[in-house]
Amino acid sequence: MNQTPDITPTTTALLVAPAAVLMFGVFVLPFLFLVVLSFWSQVPGSLSLDTSFTLTNYVRIFSDSYYLGGLWTTLWLSGFVTLICLLLALPLARWIVLHAGRAKGLLIGISILPLICGALLPTLGLVNLLSPLGFINGALKSMGLIQTSLPLLGNITGVSIGLVQAFLPLMVLPLINTVERIPHDYEKAAMSLGASPFVVWRRVLLPLMLPGIVAGSLLVFCAALTAFVTPQILGQGKVVTFASLAYQQAAMVLDWPFASALGIVMLLFLALAGLVGALISRRLARAS
Amino acid sequence: MKRIACYAAVTAVSLFPCLPTFAQDYSGRTLVVGTWGGDIERLLREHVAGPLEAKTGAKVEFLLGGSGDRLSKMVAERNNPTMDVTFQNIYEAPSALKEGLVIAPDAALVPAAADVWAGMNDGCYAMSLVGLGIAYSKAVFPEAPEWSDLWNPELKGKMAYAPYPSSEGDGMLAVAARIAGADETNPDAAFAKLAELGAPMLTYNSLDEVLTLMDAGEIAAAPMISGYVISNLENYEGIGFVFPKDPGPVLVRDMVCQVANSPEPELAQMFIDLALGVETQTAYANELNFGPTNSKVVLSDEQAAKVINTPEEVKSLLQLDWTYVIAQRSDWTDRWNKEILGQ
């Protein structure tokens, strides 16, 4: 696009300034304060803060097996949820693009519903579905398939179901975008050369879908890593995630410095995930 | 009718000098009150904020949320508070006073405080009395259980707890310590004894969630605070609630505090005075099953049976050293996470 000659760098700076000032005030400054706070400490037995520099909070996180366990659970749970979302979203996105026809808009709308209606209501709905007295256990019992309720709440199973339900749209949308740009002829050409459907997926479609897979995976992984409401409600206190630990320390124990350190550690992992995603995207761009 | 109105006006004018500070005009001023939402907010609007607005011309604005949020807010706004009145849990009130965040209870500022049962005002003014008792499944316990009955090995892992830290959790630790022959100042004994009950089947986020499972017998029992539970019992035939005897139920209090250096101290004192008054306290007891702290409240026999409302009942309750307990909060939260939930 040609730049119009009357837009000078000064004009650009002025146009950007309101948003930049807003971002600096409501995002950058509080974030910097969070970083500083994480190096302070709580005066024992008091609500006051000791503002002398200390690494105590970070030492506590990385030397205590409980917090390391919470970090590990959060990381592998996020990875697992990303994988399940990917497996579900790949065929779904392709089907929507190729076969939905006029219903495509409607199906995309339905796909993004979990993003629109927030985390709380669907999660509470899932409690009713998954509880020992809920719909799923009730249906299985009435069919005579089980005698006692399956434990679907208060464990990784329940939390994973909740997170997949919540974040599937973040995987579906980038994939739809990618699948739409793959010419249908490629697939037909591969088939005409004798490739089986599995080979077509593995050798033709998946490589072409990679940019969407990377974008979707990054979005789902980061969302799952920072999710709070779903693990808190469906985990019933038995699934320890970093977000629920940070909430407990910030809102209930009122140890803000330690809660800040937990938040910073989580943000570092988000940054790391973003970095890995960016590197893969760059490599893919070069390869293509 | 006109004549009556005229007499009323004349009487009001003649009594004007005798009226307390209520008669002052506070038009255009706003009192900010932090409290819990739901029934508590409704009752406070009806019995405290409404009359106060009518008498003073001021506006009462409610800030709703959890008491931890309000304590955080007071700490963060220490030098420039925006809240005038805040409702806190008993475990937060003494430390809030120690930190200089609230003003010590004083009957000279809030006349109704003189009618509150002796010893109940601690850090802030005592608003309501509730006890930590046992909500239990009748399918599991044909007779109302004592605390020690929960340690039946067959029930291991069938308890439900509120998220920790909470007064329910601290109360249960104090009970466990006493069952072990110690008290809450011996956390090793408390945690070891409570760990014998196993990890809870559920850490509940809402009453309905836990009561539905208890009604079906999936959960045997839960240490719960009277009031809300008693109000809910009529919806669940399979659930009972009991105040045990040995030790007695743990006394838990909601407190109402005047925030230190707040913008509207006089309005705050008037609000608290109305909140501690007989009318509000009676409504709290009748509608929420929260025991009144005002010694002048008279309840029907039926209602009195449901709430803690006499000094004798209060004496039978287990009172914790909340200043000590709150100082252990960080350590105990770690221990709860590891030794109770993480078994």
Round to whole Å and give the CA distance between A184 and B128.
71
Residue to mutate among A128, A236, A255, A262, with most B CBs inside 10 A, is A236
Q: What is the DSSP string of B214-264?
A: HHTTSS-EEEEETTHHHHHGGG-TTEEEE--SSS-PEEEEEEEEEETT-S-
Q: Which of A47, A159, A234 to mutate to test the interface with B (most CBs of B within 10 A)?
A: A47
Please state the φ and ψ torsions of residue A100, each to the nearest 5 degrees.
-75, -25
Give the span between the Cα atoms of A63 and A80, in whole angstroms: 25
- Structure confidence at residue A4 (pLDDT): 56
Q: How confident is the model at residue A287 (pLDDT cuts 50, 70, 90)?
A: confident
pLDDT (tens digit per residue) in B55-105: 999 999 999 988 888 998 999 899 999 999 999 998 899 889 999 999 999
pLDDT of B7 higher than 50: no
Mean pLDDT score, A249-277 = 94
Q: Name the band, by pLDDT with cuts 50, 70 and 90, for residue B300.
A: very high
Q: Is B76 on the interface with A (CB under 8 A)?
A: no
- Does B333 sit within 8 Å of A248, measured CB to CB? yes
B286 pLDDT above the threshold of 60: yes
| DSSP labels, chain A | -PPPTT--HHHHHHHHHHHHHHHIIIIIHHHHHHHHHTTSEEPTTSS-EE-S---HHHHHHHH-HHHHHHHHHHHHHHHHHHHHHHHHHHHHHHHHHHH-GGGHHHHHHHHTHHHHS-SHHHHHHHHHHHSTTSHHHHHHHHTTS-SS----SSSHHHHHHHHHHHHHHHHHHHHHHHHHTS-HHHHHHHHHTT--HHHIIIIIIHHHHHHHHHHHHHHHHHHHHH--HHHHHHHTTSS--HHHHHHIIIIIS--HHHHHHHHHHHHHHHHHHHHHHHHHHHHHHHH-
Distance from the B243 Cα atom to the nearest Cα atom in chain A, whole angstroms: 26
User: What's the CA angle centered on B169, arms B35 and B129, to 5 degrees?
Assistant: 50
In tens, the pLDDT along A187-199 reads: 889 999 999 989 9
Give residue B1's pLDDT: 46
Is the distance from CB of B56 to CB of B22 less than 8 angstroms? yes
Mean pLDDT of A15-30: 95
Minimum-distance CB partner of A66 among B99, B212, B342: B342
Of A45, A66, A250, the CB nearest to B327: A45
Distance CA B201, CA B213 (A): 10
pLDDT score at B102: 97
Residue B101 with chain A: CB contacts under 8 Å? 47
Quick: pLDDT tens for B182-203. Answer: 999 999 999 999 999 999 999 9
Chain A touched by B148 (CB under 8 Å): no
Confidence of residue B285 (pLDDT cuts 50, 70, 90): very high
pLDDT of B327: 87
Residue B67's SS3 state is helix
**Which pLDDT score, from 0 to 100, does residue B316 have?**
84
Asked if B31 contacts B61 with a C-beta cutoff of 8 angstroms, the reply is: yes
Residue from the list B71, B204, B216 with its beta carbon closest to the beta carbon of A254 = B71
> What local confidence, expressed as pLDDT, does residue A118 receive?
85
| pTM of this structure | 0.86
Do residues B149 and B142 touch, judged by C-beta distance below 8 A?
A: no
Q: In this structure, what token pair is assigned to residue A11?
A: 């004009």
pLDDT at B280: 97
For A31-49, what is each residue's pLDDT tens digit?
999 999 999 998 887 778 8
pLDDT digits (tens, 9 = 90+) for B233-259: 889 999 999 999 989 899 988 999 999
- pLDDT for residue B162: 94
pLDDT digits (tens, 9 = 90+) for B151-160: 999 999 999 9
Amino acid in the structure at residue B330: S
Q: What is the pLDDT of residues B12-34, one digit of tens each?
A: 444 444 444 445 789 999 999 99
Contacts A–B by Cβ distance under 8 A: 81
First to last CA, chain B: 74
Measured between CB atoms, which of A44, A233, A254 is closest to B68? A254
Cα A280 from Cα A274, distance rounded (Å): 10
Closest A-chain CA to B98: A46
Question: Do residues B238 and B214 lie in contact, with contact meaning Cβ atoms separated by under 8 Å?
Answer: yes
Which segments of chain B are extended strands (E)? 30-35, 59-64, 85-89, 102-103, 125-137, 160-161, 202-203, 221-225, 239-242, 250-259, 291-292
